[in-house]
Structure 1
Amino acid sequence: MTTFRTIRRLLLTFAALAWSGAALAQMQPIPDRQAGEGEGPFEKLIVKGAMMIEGSGAPPEGPVDIVIEGNRITAIAGSDRADEAYAGARVIDAKGMYVLPGFVDVHGHNGDPDKAPQPSYGFKLWLAHGVTSVRGVSFAGDLTDLDMTRRSAANTITAPRLYPYAVFGSKWDRGTPDTPEKAREWVRWIKERGYWGIKFFNNETPLVLEAALDEAEAQGLGSVAHLGQRGLGEVTAKRAVELGMDGITHFYGHFESIPREGQLAPYPADYNYRDEQSRFGEVALRGYNAVEPGSETWDDYVDLLVESGVTLSPTFNIYVASRDVMRARNLDWHTRYTLPSLMDFYQPSLTNHGSYYHDWGTEQEVAWRHFFVKWMELTKDFHDRGGRVTAGSDPGYIYQTWGFAYIGELEMLREAGLTPLEVIKAATLNGAREIYDARGEEPPMGRIAVGKLADLVIVPENPLANLKVLYGTGHDRLNRETNEIETIGGVRWTIKDGVVFDAPALLEDVARMVEEQKAERAVATD
């Protein structure tokens, strides 16, 4: 009997391992949009009686009625018409609510089966938090992101509008572009297939990078860089901007551009880039090695960034666990909305990218808290001098789950010193313009205006007073009259391309995905 139980236990253990490994080896197909999963577009849709925050930085106004025909806004007027005036139209009663442009996440990923094998998991979380457009950098390692993009544009899947970027040198089978000529060939190749831009990781020689950026500009493709540390000896953020880079994401390359002394970062003798605790622990010390805010070198660098027209998408939130891992591990939404497989990926690991807090203590967290101060000062100085800042979440790493992570980024832009209206502009019009500028086009979304796409977020509470009301879990507060805790907020409706999504219903779909995965695991280990 003991032997039988031992064998059975081993078999079940192998089954669980197979479930967590082989069964998740590839992404699942995205199902078509189901009946009841979004309504519309309608011949005529009215958002009635809302306070409007229109996205360009203008103050709130209202109540207004927003008239939508198909997928376009056709009129915005004071909300003084009787309901009978809209007979035959689909009317959303938004009295007492706030309406904003659909949010734009300029830093999305959605292609790792070990974390979330069903792409609609992330898509529904984005939509449930008001995100109607996502730039993927990139969404997938193969060409499936193009199919997702087409299906989203046709509204046959439940997903935000998708803008696919390709990582430099990826997608094709002709080898890494290692000459200027091959770099140009690759850029033309991705343009022909329908990609909107290029994500660089600073793995190229300066000559190859320069050629790729020049060809990207000629082809109307955008560019954004995660300037990996292995390339910073030759291409810092300053050099990348001089070569024509459109956008810099994260913090990489900034402080290496303005060292206090010397040319190269003073890495310790035992530093190991491939050991992620060493890599990310040392990152927080880069700010100490840079010149001080307000110094001549600092100011000259910020002015260069602004004058170049580069966009900064800092993605503060993806690194926020570095300054308090315990808080990140216990965020309110993990139990109900974070997949078990995703929580597994988040755990400290020698193999999972971003799970670098192997022995992460007070010293590492304090260093990161100081680093954030200087990083935010740089972003705020850039913004105040006229630079464009956008909102990107980089979800699926370091305890940052889709949708929730995006709202966390908005809170951190506020922490960096942007006003609430400036945060909303970063999340809407600025993000839209970053995506469309390379094409020389005014974006069709990003603000509430006649002629724009019907991409809207409708929220019961005022996000300018408290950005926390945008979280899918809402905001808990004490009702001082009843002395009871009440939960307020959460997005009520997200409208993408004229299609109305019930945000709480999307969250329930996600909660079911989480419960189903928990049940499957329980069966595999029973």
Structure 2
Amino acid sequence: MKISRLLGVALALACAPATNAHAQELLAPAPERTAGEGEGPYPTLLITGVTVIDGTGTPPAGPIDILVKNNKIDSYYPGAAPADVRNSAARILDASGMYALPGFVDTHGHNGDPGKAPDATYGYRLWLAHGVTTVRGVSFQWGPGQPDVSDARRSEANSIVAPRLIPYAGFGDKWDGGAVDSPAKAHEWVRWAKAQGYWGIKFFNGYGADVFAAAFDEAEKLKMGTVAHLAQTGVAEVNARKAVELGLDGITHFYGHSESLLKDHAISQYPDDYNYFDEQSRFGWVARLADQVVEPDSEEWDEYIDFLIENEVTLSPTFNIYSASRDVSAARNRDWHARYTLPSLMDFYAPSATNHGSYYKDWTTEDEVAWRKFYRYWFDLTKEFHRRGGRVTAGSDPGFIYQTWGFAYIGELEMLREAGLSPLEVIRAATINGAREIYDPLGQEPPFGSLAPGKLADIVIVPENPLANLKVLYGTGHTRLNRQTGVIEQVGGVRWTIKDGIIYDAPKLLESVAQMVEAQKAKR
């Protein structure tokens, strides 16, 4: 193995999210779901009086009664269900005046670790409380022995309080078969990951094109999904264009795009004192790539977007996870931190020389201005890709950079809106698009992701209209002045999240998280 390849692999592993001291400790198992946690599933469940936003882009319609049998949507009844249907329902959920959407799909999830969020159900509950019924973990935890696959199976059986969990493994992670340093090893590792129960693979850079090509080839044969975080460690050799040519399915974050669109150089230009292992240097300077790329709407820009679409790539931008970079003070002082963010997680978020993502040790106005400019290019690329027919999904990458589970996901929806997607397009990205990204490698239409007869009963019910204001999806709700009474009101928040036909009371889930936070504060 060449020295350059060894260095690349080492750097790739270094940029995996779990870089704090607790990374390889095992997360405590999620406790069994108790009798009081969630209702159902019922033989027949009738949800009454909702306006349906079905996830496909179809405009809202209502009022509608939705009949669920066991764990599948059976029928729609515009106006109201007939008396015999109402009388035979085992449970009637009165949602009059509310809005029903498909369960949200988070395509970029991680769980905590013993250092920052030691209880596996902390993140699971926050996801569910924000309407997220499916999460693709990329990975949920790093290192061998973690409960990625076992929690996925327990969630499938509904024996734990958790969204549906779709486990991906980091390329080369988890096993004891040595470094994945050749095409033969790549084939072997992918077969091993499939046999363990992983649905797909998350790639970092640092491997040669031959290793990537072998892994993508084997993954396609085994119907496993592939997504990549094309970090600076190897992007000079494998940028987004090259990775797609080799067979990559999806690109997460912004990595690889700018390096595919450089206007004056073959590789990105960094200052002489740049140090990738110093995360302030890494993240401070990556925003300056906006000064090195071709202009939006230029011939090269348009050709690159067409290339991505022709190759059926999915973009999961995770705009939210870097949002502190353009206003760190705002991110540090979000109104949910006091009640719902664990003290240990706030410790992890604070500026640190070791914790991944806690890079703003001396974050300046110049850094924030550079990031605001970078976002304009990133937004433009994503919007135009989407406008031309490319698939965009919603992923939150929680647990880093002041992005707490659940809240971070709604933040991503707001940023997709900021990028230029319409509210209906944002909901589609959050539902059917995410479901299809997960199920496309299997060659199947997903069983969830839209509200229609025959689909699984993954449903989010919200008192306020999210198309008018996405902020009503936050667990803390939306602050609004009642102009008639002069009273400041807190409105919105998800009322119920239904996953696999089980009704979860979202405020009750949030209260259980608040109790976790208070217990940790008391222990301290």
Structure-1-length-normalised TM-score: 0.94
1:48 deviation in Å?
A: 0.7
Establish whether residue 191 from structure 1 lines up as the match of residue 194 from structure 2: yes
Q: Secondary structure at the match of 1:240?
A: helix
2:378 to 375, 378, 388: 375
Determine the structure 2 residue equivalent to 1:131: 132
1:451-483 CA-to-partner distances (Å, cap 9, x unmatched) read 110000000000000000000000001111111
CA distance in 1, matches of 2:132, 2:80: 30
1:82 deviation in Å?
A: 5.3
Conservation of the 8 A alpha-carbon contact between 2:112 and 2:123: no
CA distance in 1, matches of 2:177, 2:85: 61
CA distance in 2, matches of 1:140, 1:399: 19
Determine the structure 2 residue equivalent to 1:202: 205
CA distance in 2, matches of 1:275, 1:283: 12
CA distance in 2, matches of 1:338, 1:57: 33
Q: Secondary structure at the match of 1:189?
A: helix
Percent of counterpart pairs with the same letter?
A: 65
CA distance in 1, matches of 2:369, 2:287: 9
Determine the structure 1 residue equivalent to 2:330: 327
CA distance in 2, matches of 1:150, 1:85: 34
Matched positions, count: 502
Determine the structure 1 residue equivalent to 2:43: 43
1:77 deviation in Å?
A: 1.6
Q: Which amino acid aligns with 1:108?
A: G
1:83 deviation in Å?
A: 5.7
CA distance in 1, matches of 2:85, 2:419: 45
Conservation of the 8 A alpha-carbon contact between 2:111 and 2:141: yes
CA distance in 2, matches of 1:243, 1:83: 58
Establish whether residue 416 from structure 1 lines up as the match of residue 419 from structure 2: yes
Establish whether residue 98 from structure 1 lines up as the match of residue 99 from structure 2: yes
Pairing of 1:422-461 with structure 2 (within 5 A): 422-461=425-464
1:499 to 492, 502, 506: 502
Pairing of 1:116-155 with structure 2 (within 5 A): 116-141=117-142, 142-143=144-145, 144-155=147-158
Change (3 A) 1:242 1:21: closer
Determine the structure 2 residue equivalent to 1:472: 475
CA distance in 1, matches of 2:394, 2:154: 25
Q: Which amino acid aligns with 2:400?
A: Y
1:80 deviation in Å?
A: 2.5
1:407-445 CA-to-partner distances (Å, cap 9, x unmatched) read 000000000000000000000000000000001010000
CA distance in 1, matches of 2:132, 2:284: 32
Conservation of the 8 A alpha-carbon contact between 1:293 and 1:378: yes
Conservation of the 8 A alpha-carbon contact between 1:227 and 1:252: yes
Q: Which amino acid aligns with 2:126?
A: L
CA distance in 1, matches of 2:428, 2:53: 10
CA distance in 1, matches of 2:302, 2:152: 41
1:237-292 CA-to-partner distances (Å, cap 9, x unmatched) read 01011111000000001011010111010111010000000000001111110000
Determine the structure 1 residue equivalent to 2:267: 264
1:348 to 330, 347, 351: 351
CA distance in 1, matches of 2:231, 2:113: 21
Determine the structure 2 residue equivalent to 1:115: 116
1:28 deviation in Å?
A: 1.5
Q: Which amino acid aligns with 2:316?
A: S
Unaligned runs of 5+ in 2: 1-19
Conservation of the 8 A alpha-carbon contact between 2:230 and 2:255: yes
CA distance in 1, matches of 2:53, 2:485: 32
2:369 to 366, 369, 378: 366
Establish whether residue 59 from structure 1 lines up as the match of residue 59 from structure 2: yes
CA distance in 1, matches of 2:278, 2:249: 30
CA distance in 2, matches of 1:377, 1:387: 13
CA distance in 2, matches of 1:472, 1:288: 38
CA distance in 2, matches of 1:470, 1:85: 31
Determine the structure 1 residue equivalent to 2:285: 282
CA distance in 2, matches of 1:222, 1:203: 20
CA distance in 2, matches of 1:416, 1:513: 35
Q: Which amino acid aligns with 2:497?
A: T
Determine the structure 2 residue equivalent to 1:5: none
Establish whether residue 159 from structure 1 lines up as the match of residue 190 from structure 2: no
CA distance in 2, matches of 1:384, 1:482: 43
Determine the structure 2 residue equivalent to 1:524: none
Q: Which amino acid aligns with 2:385?
A: F
1:25 deviation in Å?
A: 4.9
Determine the structure 1 residue equivalent to 2:5: none
Q: Secondary structure at the match of 1:42?
A: coil
1:338-384 CA-to-partner distances (Å, cap 9, x unmatched) read 00000000000000000000000111001101110010000001000
CA distance in 1, matches of 2:85, 2:338: 46
1:287-336 CA-to-partner distances (Å, cap 9, x unmatched) read 11000001100000010011110000000000000000000000010000
Change (3 A) 1:25 1:203: same
Q: Which entry has the higher C-alpha Rg, 1 or 2?
A: 1
1:184-221 CA-to-partner distances (Å, cap 9, x unmatched) read 01101111111000000012111000000011000000
Conservation of the 8 A alpha-carbon contact between 1:26 and 1:117: no
1:93 deviation in Å?
A: 0.6
Determine the structure 2 residue equivalent to 1:310: 313
Determine the structure 2 residue equivalent to 1:6: none
CA RMSD between the two structures: 1.4
Q: Which amino acid aligns with 1:99?
A: A
Change (3 A) 1:83 1:490: farther
1:84 deviation in Å?
A: 6.0
CA distance in 2, matches of 1:270, 1:83: 74
Q: Which amino acid aligns with 1:473?
A: T
1:398 to 373, 396, 401: 401
Conservation of the 8 A alpha-carbon contact between 1:129 and 1:491: yes
CA distance in 1, matches of 2:169, 2:26: 19
CA distance in 2, matches of 1:69, 1:206: 49
Determine the structure 2 residue equivalent to 1:230: 233
CA distance in 2, matches of 1:53, 1:449: 11
Bigger drift between 346-355 and 476-485 goes to 476-485
Establish whether residue 251 from structure 1 lines up as the match of residue 254 from structure 2: yes
1:89 deviation in Å?
A: 2.1
Conservation of the 8 A alpha-carbon contact between 2:480 and 2:488: yes
CA distance in 2, matches of 1:489, 1:84: 33
Q: Secondary structure at the match of 2:233?
A: helix
Structure-2-length-normalised TM-score: 0.94
CA distance in 1, matches of 2:167, 2:32: 20
CA distance in 2, matches of 1:502, 1:79: 25
Establish whether residue 76 from structure 1 lines up as the match of residue 76 from structure 2: yes
1:157-194 CA-to-partner distances (Å, cap 9, x unmatched) read 00000000000011110112111011001101111111
CA distance in 2, matches of 1:442, 1:400: 31
Q: Which amino acid aligns with 1:308?
A: N
Q: Secondary structure at the match of 1:447?
A: coil
CA distance in 1, matches of 2:378, 2:406: 23
Q: Which amino acid aligns with 2:174?
A: K
